């Protein structure tokens, strides 16, 4: 009974084993490609009509039939059948039920191998654009936050130890740099997504003189694929997308990690809005940064999906192999996870209040201007290594005294370096330190203001 319904059932005499049917189906996850499948089929049938393989009227019936099916699917009136395996056969079978003979001609000069490759490329093209738009929203929120924080000073860290004072906007702009690279990677990956496999058929092409340029134009692909074997088997673009998504998630996890630290009792650099935190069922005082933690955690599954796709493709002989059906779930999960993470993370940013006074006090604490003192000495002709040594001793003394460097008296400072004058206090302040780093790419507020304007400019262009 079941086998008679299968479009490929002709050479079979036994019905498919139930376990096999359940094991081989992909409709439970590839139904999601219905729009792209219909879009691809309409373009293919128009092209078939243009080369007189089917009539204009048949192409029109196919188009109307497919559009009606799209409506049924959207209205939830379409019953997907496991017996019909996948999205391609479900739609084609329903089309033939609805319009008869013309429906049976749709698959001329085509295979599910080039069909699924086309569908997934159309899908990923849109996904890449959607993710870029979500990154842009996050960037806009970060740049808006940076606007108010150019003169906010916090300790910059290396090894998570206080290193040198920096502008908070400079820190937020560092996050923005990561995201700009993410956008570039997606745009670059999109160029390789946007290649059209249709016409490659099962693997070797087809004996019909398809007008591939026309199909390509109808589907807004950049060009038809150059090699039919490669076109039906290539999934590099999914791996590239998964790699770009993994980098996005890795970046988000780093931002999340900092937000989690900053929100902790020990730092108190930020307060995250209540709407973006949750409480504890046992500890009434708790307000936890769960969004940041979950996003950080989600990076694991996206990076895992990248591994899954790489291993899926490893050692596959040309051309199409059914293994490739296993590409759908990891890539769909990747698209969903990266999109949802970006969305919620971007929404959380405007809810964050930056505690500038706490940050300032923290920057005062860790001898963050020690390098400035060393560089001051270098300007007085002390070789840098000697200056480093002198300041090291001064810091050691200040620690023993329980004072910041700027609280040491001039004579105390001069006991380490006789050449020190009272203008030294200009470089020992946090403001003096950040202002001094005024080269391109540095943290001086004047430079950060320019960097922020340039970042906004790039984002809006």
> Is the distance from CB of 106 to CB of 45 less than 8 angstroms?
yes
- Please give the Cα distance from 32 to 213 (Å, whole number): 27
Considering beta carbons, is residue 50 or 321 the nearer one to ligand ARG?
321
Is 122 among the residues that bind ligand ARG (CB under 6 A)?
Answer: no
Residues 64-93 that bind ligand ARG (CB under 6 A): 86
Binding ligand ARG (rule: CB under 6 A), the pick from 324, 369, 406, 429 is: 324
Q: C-beta of 46: minimal distance to ligand ARG in Å?
A: 22
Short-list 212, 215, 184, 205, CA closest to 122 = 215
Is 334 among the residues that bind ligand ARG (CB under 6 A)?
Answer: no
Short-list 171, 174, 166, 175, CA closest to 360 = 166
Q: Indicate which residue of 57, 280, 393, 438 is catalytic.
A: 280
- Candidates 43-51, 322-330, 381-389, 393-401; binding stretch for ligand ARG (CB under 6 A): 322-330
Binding ligand ARG (rule: CB under 6 A), the pick from 95, 116, 143, 169 is: 116
CA distances to 117, 119, 290, 308, 310 from 302, rounded to whole Å, are 22, 22, 18, 10, 13
Considering beta carbons, is residue 69 or 434 the nearer one to ligand ARG?
69
Q: C-beta of 27: minimal distance to ligand ARG in Å?
A: 8
- Please give the Cα distance from 285 to 279 (Å, whole number): 8
Tokens representing 263? Answer: 């929100």
- Candidates 111-119, 145-153, 171-179, 186-194; binding stretch for ligand ARG (CB under 6 A): 111-119
45 included as an active-site residue: no
Q: C-beta of 59: minimal distance to ligand ARG in Å?
A: 24
Interhelix angle 34-50/56-74, rounded to 10 degrees, is 170
Q: C-beta of 330: minimal distance to ligand ARG in Å?
A: 13
Element (H, E) at 105: helix 101-105
Is 200 among the residues that bind ligand ARG (CB under 6 A)?
Answer: no
- Candidates 151-159, 307-315, 318-326, 385-393; binding stretch for ligand ARG (CB under 6 A): 318-326
280 included as an active-site residue: yes
Tokens representing 269? Answer: 């650099």
Fill in the DSSP letter of residue 438.
Answer: -
Is 325 among the residues that bind ligand ARG (CB under 6 A)?
Answer: yes
Is 176 among the residues that bind ligand ARG (CB under 6 A)?
Answer: no
- Candidates 110-118, 301-309, 399-407, 419-427; binding stretch for ligand ARG (CB under 6 A): 110-118
The bridge status of strand 153-158 relative to strand 161-167 is antiparallel
Considering beta carbons, is residue 159 or 322 the nearer one to ligand ARG?
322
Q: C-beta of 66: minimal distance to ligand ARG in Å?
A: 18
Q: Helix and strand tally (H, E) in the chain? A: 21, 6
Binding mask 25-54 for ligand ARG (x = CB under 6 A): -x---x------------------------
Element (H, E) at 163: strand 161-167
Number of residues counted as binding ligand ARG (CB under 6 A): 9
Considering beta carbons, is residue 21 or 426 the nearer one to ligand ARG?
21
Considering beta carbons, is residue 30 or 240 the nearer one to ligand ARG?
30
Q: Is 215 exposed, middle or buried (0-12, 13-18, 19+ CB in 10 A)?
A: buried
- What contacts 405, CB < 8 A, 6 or more positions away? 367, 369, 370, 373, 394, 395, 398, 428
- Candidates 109-117, 240-248, 334-342, 408-416; binding stretch for ligand ARG (CB under 6 A): 109-117
- Please give the Cα distance from 223 to 246 (Å, whole number): 28
Binding ligand ARG (rule: CB under 6 A), the pick from 322, 381, 411, 461 is: 322
> Is the distance from CB of 374 to CB of 395 less than 8 angstroms?
no
Considering beta carbons, is residue 329 or 426 the nearer one to ligand ARG?
329
Short-list 105, 39, 66, 131, CA closest to 337 = 131
The neighbour count for residue 210, using CB atoms within 10 Å, is 24
Considering beta carbons, is residue 27 or 352 the nearer one to ligand ARG?
27
- Candidates 147-155, 267-275, 292-300, 320-328; binding stretch for ligand ARG (CB under 6 A): 320-328
> Is the distance from CB of 93 to CB of 84 less than 8 angstroms?
yes
Question: DSSP labels for 16-27?
Answer: PPHHHHHHH--H
Query: What residues make contact with ligand ARG under the rule CB under 6 A?
Result: 26, 30, 86, 112-113, 116, 322, 324-325
The residues annotated with a catalytic role in the active site are 159, 280
């Amino acid at each position: 009974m079941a086998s008679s319904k299968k479009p490929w059932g002709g050479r079979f005499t036994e019905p498919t084993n139930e376990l096999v049917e359940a094991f081989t189906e992909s409709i439970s996850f590839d139904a999601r490609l219905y729009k792209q499948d219909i879009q691809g089929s309409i373009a293919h049938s128009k092209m078939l009509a243009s080369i007189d393989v089917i009539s204009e009227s048949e192409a029109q019936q196919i188009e109307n039939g497919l559009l009606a099916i799209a409506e049924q699917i959207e209205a939830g009136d379409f019953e997907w059948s496991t017996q019909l395996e996948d999205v391609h056969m479900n739609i084609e079978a329903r089309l033939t039920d609805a319009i008869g003979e013309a429906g049976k001609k749709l698959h001329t000069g085509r295979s599910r191998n080039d069909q699924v490759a086309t569908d997934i490329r159309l899908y990923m093209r849109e996904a890449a654009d959607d993710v870029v738009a979500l990154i842009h929203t996050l960037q806009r929120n970060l740049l808006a936050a940076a606007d108010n924080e150019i003169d906010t000073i916090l300790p910059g860290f290396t090894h998570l130890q206080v290193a040198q004072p920096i502008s908070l906007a400079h820190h937020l702009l560092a996050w923005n740099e990561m995201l700009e690279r993410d956008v570039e990677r997606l745009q670059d990956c999109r160029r390789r997504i946007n290649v059209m496999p249709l016409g490659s058929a099962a693997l070797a092409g087809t004996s019909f003189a398809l007008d591939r340029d026309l199909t390509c134009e109808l589907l807004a692909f950049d060009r038809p694929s150059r090699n039919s074997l490669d076109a039906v088997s290539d999934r590099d673009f999914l791996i590239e997308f998964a790699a770009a998504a993994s980098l996005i998630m890795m970046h988000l996890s780093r931002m999340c990690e900092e937000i989690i630290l900053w929100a902790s009792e020990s730092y108190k650099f930020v307060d995250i809005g209540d709407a973006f935190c949750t409480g504890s069922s046992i500890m009434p005082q708790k307000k936890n940064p769960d969004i940041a933690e979950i996003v950080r955690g989600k990076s694991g599954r996206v990076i895992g999906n990248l591994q899954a796709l790489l291993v899926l493709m490893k050692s596959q002989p040309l051309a199409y192999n059914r293994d490739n059906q296993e590409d759908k779930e990891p890539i769909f999960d990747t698209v969903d996870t990266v999109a949802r993470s970006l969305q919620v993370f971007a929404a959380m940013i405007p809810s964050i209040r930056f505690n500038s006074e706490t940050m300032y006090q923290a920057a005062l604490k860790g001898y963050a201007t020690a390098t400035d003192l060393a560089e001051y000495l270098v300007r007085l002709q002390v070789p840098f290594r000697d200056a480093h040594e002198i300041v090291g001793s001064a810091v050691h003394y200040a620690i023993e005294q329980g004072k910041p460097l700027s609280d040491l008296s001039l004579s105390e400072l001069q006991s380490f370096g006789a050449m020190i004058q009272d203008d030294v206090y200009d470089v020992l302040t946090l403001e003096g330190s950040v202002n001094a780093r005024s080269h391109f790419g540095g943290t001086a507020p004047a430079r950060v203001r320019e960097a922020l304007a340039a970042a906004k400019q790039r984002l809006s262009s």
